[in-house]
Structure 1
Amino acid sequence: MVDASAQVRPGGRSAKVRAAVHRAVADLLADGPAEALTIPAVAARAGVHPTTVYRRWGSAAQLLSDVATSRFSGDVVVPDSGSLAGDLERWMADVATDLADPDTLALMRAAIGSGPEGGCACTADRHEQLRAIIERERSRGGEAPTVESAVDFLLGPLYYRAIFSAEPASGDWARGLVTTFLAASRALT
């Protein structure tokens, strides 16, 4: 007779391996350039065999995409201040703070540099958060811009500054983008 408890491993070895590999990626990015992040280096740092990493992720690009998706999912809370301006200002300041973190920035740059899926992994949750803010404003009966224009006008400059500038965006700068964006949106309607 087979013991049923021995067959079920919720959060068992697989979850431990994933956590160790994700931690190894973060550690390697903190220690050196993204180019040093290879499957064998990640496996050695995580204490697993490279085959385990290749079997689960296939490539360094897929691994970076998975780590970025995990890192950028649910880390910024969608505020509910009662107004579109208040929600966007607080959210943008929180995103700017998150993107100013050196470890976050290293992961984002490495993921984006690994291919198109890396960029999507870094921004998909942010798009959904913006969608939630804008849809909430519409449900209140307020006028709201399109999600696409909010992404282009708000996230575009924020991510550009984070990735390509030596000076990270401040919360005040990010809130200023919101003020300009909402004024321009009202002028166009």
Structure 2
Amino acid sequence: MSPRTGTRPGGRSARIQRAVHQATQDLLDEIPRANLTVPLIAERAEVDATTVYRRWGTLAQLLSDVAANRIRETPLPEATGSLRGDLTAWSQQFAEEISSGPGRGYVADVLAGDATGDNAKQCADYAAESIEQILDRFDGQPLPSVDDILEHVIAPLIYRILFAANRPLTGYAEKLVTEFLDGDHTAVA
């Protein structure tokens, strides 16, 4: 069962999730990661450790859930007035967030404790939702699809951030957006 299966959006379950997530984030800021344990998190969250184990299963699964939630918290940048400007601003912000030390840690946590792929899918959904919100700013105009933007802008960014020897340089996100919107996909294929 995934951490969110069968939970209600409010009430006790939501309070427990908020408390456990906050305790986890606070402890990650305060102590070495190697010292982090479920009983320590439960104590800080003022819940029983069995509640944490029952809901998340393992420390890795809890960290995956917390990281997925942290990735979701990134707000959209201000509107620039153009699709090119908005996609560039958002993709640059996305690249900076994910390529930072904490951002790479969040991605690693999402993947490490995500046996079902649910948290990774949530992160992909968050990116798609952000792109949809940007596209909604330009309703009535011919627009690219969310999937095409994910494939030609976000996928190369993620690959470069996670697997390439050289992290994306300043301007790389803008270059991807420009090539995508201008129709030159050869550089990112």
Distance in 2 (alpha carbons) for counterparts of 1:20 and 1:157 = 34
Matched residue count: 169
Whose helix proportion is higher, 1 or 2?
A: 1
Distance in 2 (alpha carbons) for counterparts of 1:185 and 1:136 = 24
Judged with a 3 Å threshold, the aligned counterparts in structure 2 of structure 1 residues 54 and 176 are, in CA distance, closer, same or farther, namely same
Letter in 2 for 1:135: D
Judged with a 3 Å threshold, the aligned counterparts in structure 2 of structure 1 residues 86 and 104 are, in CA distance, closer, same or farther, namely same
Distance in 2 (alpha carbons) for counterparts of 1:94 and 1:87 = 11
Judged with a 3 Å threshold, the aligned counterparts in structure 2 of structure 1 residues 173 and 12 are, in CA distance, closer, same or farther, namely closer
The normalised TM-score by structure 2 is 0.73
- In structure 1, runs of 5+ residues without a counterpart are 1-7
Q: Secondary structure at the match of 1:85?
A: helix
Judged with a 3 Å threshold, the aligned counterparts in structure 2 of structure 1 residues 68 and 88 are, in CA distance, closer, same or farther, namely same
Letter in 2 for 1:180: E
Asked if 1 retains the 8 angstrom alpha-carbon contact of 2:111 and 2:120, the reply is yes
Q: Secondary structure at the match of 2:171?
A: helix
1:5 — aligned with what? none
- In structure 2, runs of 5+ residues without a counterpart are 1-10
1:47 — aligned with what? 43
Q: Tell me the CA shift for residue 168 of structure 1.
A: 2.6
Asked if 1 retains the 8 angstrom alpha-carbon contact of 2:38 and 2:59, the reply is no
Asked if 1 retains the 8 angstrom alpha-carbon contact of 2:63 and 2:113, the reply is yes
Q: Tell me the CA shift for residue 172 of structure 1.
A: 0.6
The 5 A counterparts of 1:148-187 are 148-184=147-183
Q: Give 4+ residue runs of structure 1 displaced > 6 Å after superposition.
A: 11-14
Letter in 2 for 1:94: Q
Letter in 2 for 1:149: D
The normalised TM-score by structure 1 is 0.73
Letter in 1 for 2:24: V
Identity, in percent, stands at 30
2:110 — aligned with what? 111
1:127 — aligned with what? 128
1:59 — aligned with what? 58
Letter in 2 for 1:130: I
